[in-house]
Structure 1
Amino acid sequence: MFLRNPQNWIRKTLLIGVFFFLLSNPASATTEYVIKKEESFVKGIATYTLIGKYNAHFEDFEGRIIFDPKRISRSSVYIEIKTTSIKSNFPVLDKIVRSSRLLDAAEYPKIIFQSTRCVKTEDGYRVKGILNLHGIEKEIEFPFSLEEMISAEGDFLEAQGKWNINRKDYNVIWHKTLDKGGVIVGDTITVDWKIRAYEE
């Protein structure tokens, strides 16, 4: 038996094939967002004997979030912080923190976090990634909250979280002899942050 119009048959077969391909490979909902630092903050808090607590924030940072609400595993975050931009109410201490005694901003001008895995949890989200601080890379993991919002400026994400790191894990040691047990400068640094990132 011969087909009367083989071209139509081929065309229909191709259309059916494309239809089923699209069903099995739905379009990605991945969206890229750019962090707006004017509406965000990144803070660092450490115990310092002379003043109690050293509360500082970074004035210069940037980053991107790739977010897919249907497939969180495709989501990621990249943040880059300029160490020279740290600032508090104690300019003299800021100078010490930026110096080679602590962050050594001249040698290590950036703190970088690049996520490797994002998962949804009952309370929000959890991210794992590599933190590059003081020239040392270590894996960290922490929870965070995230909301999708709409404004006159466009769609944006608002994310917030907090985590602790031990500065000595990154060889941030202010004095080889006196820096024992975190008596003068606490070993633990709390990083508190909240960011807004707008759809690109």
Structure 2
Amino acid sequence: MLLLTNITSAYAQQTINQQKSIVNFHISGGVFFKVKGTFTGMQGDFNFDSKAIENANFQICIDAETINTSNNKRDNHLRSPDFFETETYPKICFQSKQVVKSASGYTTIGNLSIHGVTKEVEIPFTFENNIFTGNLTINRFDYDIGLDFGTFRVGREASVTITCVIE
């Protein structure tokens, strides 16, 4: 009976704390400044046990409509068909395929879907005190986000930090 309890708890699904989980990003907004912003509304399935990473599985989505750069006019433009087209593509999702141990923590390999485009990505991450922290760089053109306005106005690559708090 004790063995069954230990097996069950090792593979129990964990719950994402939506209020504490967030995706932060920054992208150059021209030569002289960077635009910083967030996405919230994280939800999905999170299964991770450092003692059994071969069983790890993440299926996590954020609400694209929640984009916030502290500028309402810019945020509405980012939600428009010019960029994220959130009425048509309301979610940004990641589905893991594999998790491997790395020198600095772990790496998850999986499919990232943004704006109707799915690409395989690798996300290096740490998992400490029930907090998943991962970082990656996304080229917005890989996901058909925005036109080429020239890098003087909008950069190509966004640095992204994912903080997923688990309960």
Does the alignment reach a TM-score above 0.5?
Answer: yes
Give per-residue Cα distances to partners, 1:61-109, cap 9 Å, x unaligned.
2122112332211101111111111112111111111111011111111
Residue ranges of structure 1 left out of the alignment (5+ in a row): 1-21, 150-156
Identify the residue that residue 137 of structure 2 maps to in structure 1: 164
Q: Which residue number in structure 2 is paired with residue 192 of structure 1?
A: 161
SS state at 2:19 partner: helix
Structure 2 unaligned blocks of 5 or more: none
CA-CA distance at 1:41 after TM superposition: 1.6
- AA partner of residue 140 (structure 2): R
Does structure 2 conserve the Cα–Cα contact (< 8 Å) formed by 1:125 and 1:143? yes
The 3-state SS of whatever aligns with 2:78 is helix
Greater shift, 60-69 or 102-111, is seen at 60-69
Query: In structure 2, which of residues 49, 54, 68 is the aligned counterpart of residue 87 of structure 1?
Result: 68
Please list, as runs of the form range in 1=range in 2, the aligned pairs for 1:101-140 lying within 5 A after superposition: 101-140=82-121
CA–CA separation in structure 2 for the residues paired with 1:41 and 1:126: 19
Across the aligned residues of Structure 1 and Structure 2, the Cα RMSD in angstroms comes to 2.0
Cα-to-partner distance string for 1:122-152 (whole Å, 9 max, x where unaligned): 21111000001110110000210102x4xxx
Identity score, percent:
31
- Residue of structure 2 equivalent to 1:145: 126
SS in 1 for 2:156: strand
CA contact (8 A) 1:31 1:68 kept: no
What's the secondary structure of 1:73's corresponding residue? helix
**Letter in structure 1 aligned against 2:66:** S
Q: Deviations over 1:169-192 (max 9, x none)?
A: 111123xxxx26533110001111
> What's the secondary structure of 2:44's corresponding residue?
strand
TM-score, structure 2 normalization:
0.89
3-state SS of 1:108 partner: coil
* Larger Rg belongs to: 1
The SS at the match of 2:74 is: helix
